[in-house]
Amino acid sequence: MSAIKKILIANRGEIALRIIRACRDMGIRTVAVYSVADRAASHVHLADESVCIGPAPARDSYLNESAIITAALLTNCDAIHPGYGFLSERAGFVEKVESLGLIWIGPSAKLIAKMGDKVEAKKTAIKCGLPIVPGSDGAVDTLESALSWAEKIGYPVMLKAAAGGGGKGMRPVMSASEMAEAFQMTKAESRAGFGDDTLYMEKLLLHPRHIEFQVLADQHGGVVIFGERDCSLQRKNQKVMEECPAAALTQKQRDDMIEICRAAVKKMGYTNAGTLEFMFEDGQFYFLEMNTRLQVEHPVTEMVYGVDLVREQIRIAQGEKLGYNQGNLVPNGHAIEFRINAEDPETFVPNPGKVTAYNPPGGLGIRIDSAMYAGYSVPPTYDSLIAKLIVWAPNRTACLLRAQRALDEFVIEGVKTTIPLQQKLLQNKDVKTLNYDNHWLETFLAESKK
């Protein structure tokens, strides 16, 4: 396969900027796409070329498959990089891209479809030897079936949309008396949100941590698994802080899971970047899902391992071998990512508007992934994530101290942000001592309002 010379970036904001920078480091030209609302966005001006693909609503622009493919063909691109979100996990779009002779920088359409369907993903996980949460062996189609499976699994259980994601289409059921209402509500929510009301059921873990493993696999059978990320600090199933490595694990737990994940990825024939996500409770891992794309939190892995994951995605897509094996991946230090959203830090209501002042922190071990600048207007149309602060230090204690300093330095004025929440979290004893699980932040926020 010949080298990629020009890439269309089918995304916006900080991830589009992140991909542009990786391409420039590789001498690859870039084409940005943008909606009318993003005409003044950083990625539009920093790319080599840019194409307007439609009005502000995402469905008319960043989700407009025809407009994006047309832009790629008109600008003579070799490949499309989807970033994350939007079209990154749409198997049908991948098939269209490849049918026109363009290179897709990501896994195959077949794997995206298989791992995007939660029922199929679970079946695949079982076949590939990944530990799973006890649950139904397929779709739960009727209330009678739901009650039967709940009795077998044991309450509490979780009803989940097979086509769900992003924390949506999920509902806990604590007892049989709650099942009828929960079943109907989850089916309706799934149908409205995903166009598919297929549900499945899993045992509800009461105090789990969210641990995930970064995957890279080339087209020649080379597979590596990077050390894990702990993403347990979440609000409404949305990650707030992510760390690498997961300090709560023992070295044996880490090593064992890396080997289990490597074997699974090899068996499923996966290629490019991906993430295997697990719940971790009482020393046991349980497969949650596989994200068939780059993750928002990928920078913490890059900081600890010194590997540019976007560069590796591009290298793999153009047919290159990884050039290293599992033994070459040696972690160095600790990294934490803080997601900074344009939201009220107490109510979490989005707060779009004009950024009147922007002064990011600096110094050793500090990285900012953001498309912000003073004078930029945060649109109300898209996700409220406006910056990612990534902090590295030789160990977790030093990383927490450096992060506090960096957050104190960070100035964003004109819009409300979640920086005050991040500052509070770093001062909390439970966060400092790793005494938290997936539900801790919700409890912390509820108690803060009393």
Phi-psi domain of 257 (left: phi exceeds 0; alpha: psi -120 through 50; beta: other) = alpha
Helix axis angle for 396-409 and 419-427, nearest 10°, is: 150
State the Cα torsion 419-171-381-24 to the nearest 10°.
70
Q: How far is Cα 401 from Cα 298, in angstroms, rounded to an integer?
A: 22
Q: Which residues are catalytic?
A: 293
For residue 257, which of 133, 396, 131 has the smallest C-alpha distance?
Answer: 131
In which element (H, E) is residue 18 found? helix 13-26
Angle of CA points 37, 41, 45, to nearest 5°: 130
Residues 7, 79 contacting (CB under 8 angstroms): yes
Q: How far is Cα 382 from Cα 85, in angstroms, rounded to an integer?
A: 11
Which tokens go with 130?
């990944």
For residue 222, which of 327, 292, 297, 82 has the smallest C-alpha distance?
Answer: 327
